[in-house]
Amino acid sequence: MNQLPKESIIKLQSHINKEVVIQFQGGRQVKGTLLSFDVQLNLVLDEVRELPSQRILGLVICRGALINSFAIDGMVEIENPYI
């Protein structure tokens, strides 16, 4: 049987080298520059700062299974139309 390579349905390639905000399970948030990712949505971020304290973390690998949300810096949150 010929298996196709795993591919994420989330297209992050266009966000490489852009500022992103990541929220983890438990509520912790970080902001940094997206350098790389894989099919499990593990992310490599550089120049990372923890929010809101602005504590500098530097280069961070974010485990995809622990990420609750991903936002491009500057995005505006909209009201959920399904509630």
Q: Per-residue confidence of the chain (83 residues) as pLDDT tens digits?
A: 566 666 666 678 888 999 999 999 999 999 999 999 998 889 999 999 999 999 999 999 999 999 999 888 777 777 878 87
Which DSSP category does 9 fall into? S
> What is the spatial distance between Cα 4 and Cα 82, in angstroms, rounded to a whole number?
35
List of E strands, the chain? 19-24, 29-37, 43-51, 55-62, 67-72
Which candidate, 40, 52, 65, places its Cα nearest to that of 21? Answer: 52
Q: What is the largest CA-CA distance in the chain?
A: 52
65 residue type, one letter: A
pLDDT of residue 77: 72
